[in-house]
A = this chain, B = another copy of it.
Amino acid sequence: MKTIKIGLLGLGNIGTGTYKTLDMNRAEIEKAAGTSVDIVKILERDVDRDRGITVPKEKFTSDPDDIFKNPEIDIVIELLGGIEPASTFMLTAMQNGKHVVSANKAAIAANYDKLIETAKENNVIFRFEASVGGGIPILGTLTGPLCANRFEEVMGIVNGTTNYILTKMTVDGLDYDTVLKDAQAKGFAEADPTADVEGIDAANKLSILMALMFDKYIAPDKIPTTGITHITSEAIEDARSRNCTIKLIAHARKLDDGEVDYKVAPMEISNEHPLAGINNEFNAVFVTGNAVGDVMFYGKGAGPLPTGSAVLGDVIEISKTIK
């Protein structure tokens, strides 16, 4: 049996979750892939941090070329986060003939066309299931079992931090600042929450969803984006009086003339709509196709193991193809 060899860029939370998931579910993963799967090199300076996993020290390197120029490595998993150097690393990996898996929505949304084109030019596979919805298998479903549809609309709750904050404001009647501080204390919001609460993270994900659903790439900074920082308890009560709940929605819709209308903004969702009941840190993506009608996918949009599960789903797909 061939072994698929992986170079991992970054052993932070998601990298550790991916390593852990591979250890934990090796039998299922290798059965599905039809090959052995091994992470052989890890680009990570912090060798000594206690991550709750045992990683042989010789796997660590601080030189990316130990991965890119290593002829044994088939797949590079990029889990560094941030636009650079992640984007350049993904392109370099592709140019060296490596298939690439990434969970990095910021880098993918910023450089979508270049990444897709470079993968094509170098005849390698580029997959990024974990970049939208974390563990929720939305991208592979849109491009797989649902691809006999012409897509009409997507409405996504794709950011767990803002959904947690809005849920606590709605259920407990607390104001934004109080809930944000609580979310930061509990680890549901970062010390600098800007990318989440201003809707930037959701715009990155909408950019990726639109590229796959409508074959139309819009850079995230061109998506009209409103965050949740101005949402008051009064606005939430007003919505409730109309039998609605306020959610931060990444929304895109195909118009009759073929154009696509898109934005990220807090919206009042009728309590009859399935998205209204998606609470706390959960994510959901509601999609309308011209044959299937309305479908919705729900799950944990973040977290080391859910995201690791999606990353390894991509590794399995690539392994099945190249083995």
Contact = CB atoms under 8 A, between A and B. Distances in A.
Given A292-B305, A299-B294, A309-B292, A28 B141 contact: no
B309 A149 contact: yes
A300 B303 CA distance: 29
Contact of A25 (B25, B32, B290, B312): B290
B308 A300 contact: no
Interface string A273-313: 01001100000000001111111111110010110111011
Given A144-B137, A144-B317, A147-B313, A305 B291 contact: yes
Nearest to A29: B148
A140 interface: yes
Interface string A4-42: 000000000000000001101100110010000000000
A309 B291 contact: yes
11 contacts: A25-B148, A29-B148, A32-B143, A135-B291, A140-B141, A141-B145, A148-B308, A148-B316, A293-B300, A296-B296, A296-B298
A139 to B, nearest CB: 8
Interface string A128-159: 01000001110111011111111000000000
Interface residues of A, number: 49
A292 B129 CA distance: 13
A313 B146 contact: yes
A245 to B, nearest CB: 12
Interface of A: 21-22, 24-25, 28-29, 32, 129, 135-137, 139-141, 143-150, 274, 277-278, 289-300, 303, 305-306, 308-310, 312-317
A295 B21 contact: no
Given A28-B147, A148-B29, A137 B313 contact: no
A176 to B, nearest CB: 24
Contacts of A148: 21-22, 25, 28-29, 32, 308-310, 312-313, 315-316
Contact of A137 (B145, B291, B303): B145
A299 B295 contact: yes
A303 B292 CA distance: 9
Of A25, A129, A139, most B-chain CB atoms within 10 Å: A25
A293 B299 contact: yes
Contacts of A299: 292-296
Contact of A146 (B278, B294, B295, B309): B309
